[in-house]
């Protein structure tokens, strides 16, 4: 019985879950034709421009989000490369700034030095006779003497006894001469004296160096006609210093009734501690042979240096 029932049943097909439409090829042809038609119409009428702009505007955030990974990689690479360049550039600029700061300091020094040289060569100091320009190399090693060493010596025709001046006045006198350097004793040294006269009334006197960067004018009576502020200039009677060079300015006068002499203190006009350049005045021809030299007992020995005692009072 069951066998007969199974024989009477007909095979059935599985029902389709989705309804199938046209074939894929038909759809492709349809959409291609539609696209061509829309492009042709848009090319003639241009009615889809607003739609395209709205569509592109809506896609812009999505494009930005899609570009984030590539932009991040590009920006990271640029950051490290630019950072390295900035570090190197910063190092170079710092080095250049340091060099320029040093050059600027040297420029200020050169400007001051140039002004001083101009004052030496074109100032009011009468350069008579001829003069040789020199630089101060260093000061003397003896703390009890006021001397400086200059970079001019016998090879530059420097002789012991020559007067040394700057743009302001008399500095001192050459006392030792070596082949390439010389020793200059300043007028403030206690072993040096210089004949002077008061510019106001032509009163002659002798100024002696003393400690404290000052000059002492002794042996003048208490009633002498000299005032604070009087300018002292070289008298020229010794033949070493040309007449009229500024020497000092009177700054203090002490008159003790118990003493027959007044104590007169003056301050040098020259500024040896402010400048490195000075002028060595040429000796008059008539005075070159009168400069005393030490060690006359050993005159037969070949001298290695010239030396002169500081100019004493006449």
Confidence of residue 301 (pLDDT cuts 50, 70, 90): very low
Say yes or no to pLDDT of 216 above 90: yes
What mean pLDDT is predicted for residues 264-274?
85
Residues 176-181, mean pLDDT to the nearest whole number: 90
Chain centroid offset of residue 269 CA: 28
Burial letters 168-189, b for 16+ CB under 10 A, else e? bbbbbbbbbbbeebbbbbbbbb
pLDDT at 63 exceeding the cut of 70: yes
Please give the pLDDT value at position 305.
43
The token pair that represents 169 in the structure block? 């006045």
Q: Tell me the sheet residues that pair with 253.
A: 264
For the chain, domain boundaries:
29-122, 131-294+303-307
**Which of 4-8, 83-87, 262-266 is predicted with the least confidence, judged by mean pLDDT?**
4-8
Q: What pTM was computed for the model?
A: 0.56
Average pLDDT over residues 12-27: 65
Strands (E), the chain: 131-139, 147-150, 163-165, 170-177, 182-186, 193-198, 204-210, 214-221, 231-234, 246-254, 261-268, 277-281, 306-307
Which is more confidently placed, 164 or 239?
A: 164
Q: Say yes or no to pLDDT of 15 above 50.
A: yes
Q: State how far the Cα of 226 lies from the Cα of 204, in Å rounded to an integer.
A: 11
Number of neighbours of residue 48 by Cβ within 10 angstroms = 14
- In this prediction, residue 150 carries a pLDDT of 92
Question: Which residue would you say has higher pLDDT here, 68 or 285?
Answer: 68
| DSSP one-letter string for 207-235 | EEEETTTEEEEEEEETT-S--TTPEEEE-
Whether residue 123 is predicted with pLDDT greater than 60 in this model: the reply is no
Share of the chain above pLDDT 70, in %: 76
Q: With contact defined as beta carbons under 8 Å apart, do 244 and 233 qualify? A: yes
- Spatial neighbors of 36 by CB under 8 A, at least 6 apart, are none
Q: What is the pLDDT of residue 303?
A: 39
pLDDT given at position 311: 53
Of the pLDDT bands very low, low, confident and very high (cuts 50, 70, 90), residue 92 is confident
Is residue 289 very low, low, confident or very high in pLDDT (cuts 50, 70, 90)? very low
| Secondary structure class of 4 (helix, strand, coil) | helix
* pLDDT higher than 70, residue 94: yes
- Residue 288 or residue 244, greater confidence: 244
238 CA to centre of own chain: 43
As a CATH number, domain 131-294+303-307 is: 2.40.10.350
In whole angstroms, what is the distance from residue 193 CA to residue 171 CA? 12
Say if residue 204's pLDDT is above 70. yes
Nearest 5 degrees, angle CA 247-CA 253-CA 255? 140
Average pLDDT, the chain: 77
């Amino acid at each position: 019985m069951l066998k007969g029932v199974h024989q009477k049943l007909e095979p059935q097909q599985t029902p389709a879950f989705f309804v199938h439409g046209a074939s894929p090829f038909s759809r492709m042809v349809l959409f291609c034709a539609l696209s061509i038609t829309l492009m042709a119409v848009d090319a003639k009428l241009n009615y889809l421009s607003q739609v395209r702009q709205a569509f592109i505007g809506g896609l812009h955030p999505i494009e930005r989000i899609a570009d984030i990974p590539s932009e991040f990689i590009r920006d990271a690479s640029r950051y490290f490369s630019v950072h390295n360049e900035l570090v190197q550039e910063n190092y170079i600029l710092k080095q250049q700034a340091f060099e320029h700061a040093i050059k600027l300091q040297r420029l200020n020094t050169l400007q001051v030095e140039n002004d001083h040289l101009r004052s030496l060569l074109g100032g009011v100091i009468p350069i008579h006779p001829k003069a040789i320009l020199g630089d101060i190399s260093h000061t003397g090693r003896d703390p009890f003497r006021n001397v400086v060493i200059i970079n001019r010596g016998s090879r530059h025709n420097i002789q012991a006894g020559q007067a040394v001046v700057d743009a302001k006045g008399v500095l001192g006198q050459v006392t030792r001469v070596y082949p390439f350097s010389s020793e200059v004793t300043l007028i403030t040294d206690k072993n040096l004296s210089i004949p002077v006269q008061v510019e106001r009334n032509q009163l002659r006197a002798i100024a002696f160096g003393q400690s404290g960067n000052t000059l002492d004018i002794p042996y003048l009576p208490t009633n002498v006609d000299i005032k604070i502020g009087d300018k002292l200039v070289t008298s020229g009677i010794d033949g070493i210093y040309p007449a009229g060079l500024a020497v000092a300015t009177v700054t203090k006068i002490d008159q003790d009734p118990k003493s027959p002499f007044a104590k007169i203190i003056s301050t040098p006009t020259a500024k040896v501690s402010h400048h490195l350049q000075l002028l060595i005045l040429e000796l008059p021809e008539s005075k070159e042979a009168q400069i005393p030299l030490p060690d006359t007992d050993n005159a037969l020995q070949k001298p290695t240096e010239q030396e002169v005692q500081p100019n004493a009072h006449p």
